[in-house]
Amino acid sequence: MANVTRHINATAGGSAYEILIGGGILREAFLRKELSPFERIAVIAGSRVYELHRAYIEEALDVIRGRCRLIFFDDSEENKSYAYAGRFLEKFIEYGLNRKSAVIGIGGGVVGDFTGYCAGLFMRGIPVIHVPTTLLAMVDSSIGGKAAVNLSVGKNIAGVFRQPRMVVSDTLFLGTLPDGELRNGLTEALKHGLIGEPTTLGILQGNSMETIRREEVINRLVALSASFKAGIVEKDERESGLRAILNFGHTVGHAIESFMEYRGISHGGAVAAGIRVKMEAMRRMGLVSDGDAVRVGSLIDRYGLAERTPGLDIDGVIDHMAYDKKNFGGAVNFVLLDGLGKPKINQQIPADLLKEVMSETLT
């Protein structure tokens, strides 16, 4: 049996839970006391990860076989919808779930969002356990309790806060993760390094796309980001202040994604492009040094994180920033740095400077 190499104790919203990290730990996790009280368990598994790891997942499920029902989820953004969630809630009733039941989600961020949302609604909320299978989900979306589905007007409009009972970051799943998906997670880890988790920058600087996948390296990277984000969420679960620093790079990144209608660019590629824009703008504003800007730019290049989009309509992207649900009072608000590791929320970048930097770095 593989061993859990790292335990992180997380607390938020009056709930305490553990984040388990290690390679090949899924069966061990399902044997833990956190699952013992539940009479029935619905396991929502992403179709793609199940196809890749069917034997491994089934072996782990053997330990809860008599009380679990496996439900497959075609984990696309189109299916992360309010209407689709209704179908799964009906399945919960069909399978006999009740207040003494739980839901486990096995998959990437879409699966985690969807699972947490369904668990949060069913009978006013039953426990959820996350098994993130992508690096992005391990370092970011599985931690913090946000769960949402999409409406026709936009992404993540209908949502709940639902802290998990446990998070199982089994890095064995990362062995089949394509480089493009790995980069999405590396971008979020880089973000954490820039806003207050400095050890992450050293790990990224000391490795490459080839060596970062080594189990001891990736486990440590996941643990650092998970611990950092859990600490932020503990202080500000509902994003009333401090938690907003986690949006660093996302205002520009989300605007690029939205303008491009979520086609032709990855989430990580868009956010990394947003980080590049921020670093250059902050350098010109005197908020970060030339050396730090070069250092961050070299890390983005080393891992191929940012994506250029020739011919991108910069004015159109800027217009989309105004739609960001985190903006208030008519101003576009950014998270900026007063030096590496020192984030400040609700900051502005001069409009002319923003457009100039975006034109130079994005196209």
124 assigned to active site: yes
Catalytic entry in 247, 278, 320, 333: 247
267 assigned to active site: yes
Catalytic entry in 191, 192, 250, 283: 250
Catalytic entry in 243, 276, 278, 283: 243
Catalytic entry in 239, 284, 302, 327: 239
User: Coil, strand or helix: which one is 45?
Assistant: strand
| CB neighbour list of residue 301: distance below 8 Å, 6 or more residues apart | none
| CB neighbour list of residue 53: distance below 8 Å, 6 or more residues apart | 133, 172, 173, 176
Residue ranges of alpha helices (H) inside the chain are: 26-30, 47-52, 54-61, 82-94, 109-121, 135-136, 179-195, 198-205, 215-235, 250-259, 267-284, 290-302, 314-321, 351-362
229 assigned to active site: yes
344 assigned to active site: no
* DSSP-assigned letters across all residues of 323-347: T-TT--TT---EEEESSTT-EEEEE
Cα dist from 269 to 2, 109, 295, 301, 359, whole Å: 33, 16, 18, 11, 16
Catalytic entry in 254, 276, 278, 320: 254
146 assigned to active site: yes
Cα dist from 353 to 284, 318, 358, whole Å: 9, 12, 8
Catalytic entry in 3, 33, 65, 124: 124
250 assigned to active site: yes
Catalytic entry in 27, 40, 53, 146: 146
How far is C-alpha 297 from the geometric centre of its chain's CA atoms?
22
Catalytic entry in 40, 165, 192, 267: 267
360 assigned to active site: no
Catalytic entry in 229, 276, 283, 320: 229
Catalytic entry in 18, 34, 181, 188: 188
247 assigned to active site: yes
Nearest-10 crossing angle of helices 179-195, 267-284: 30
| CB neighbour list of residue 50: distance below 8 Å, 6 or more residues apart | 57, 72, 106
User: Coil, strand or helix: which one is 7?
Assistant: strand
239 assigned to active site: yes
Number of H helices, E strands in the chain: 14, 11
Residues serving a catalytic function are: 124, 146, 188, 229, 239, 243, 247, 250, 254, 267
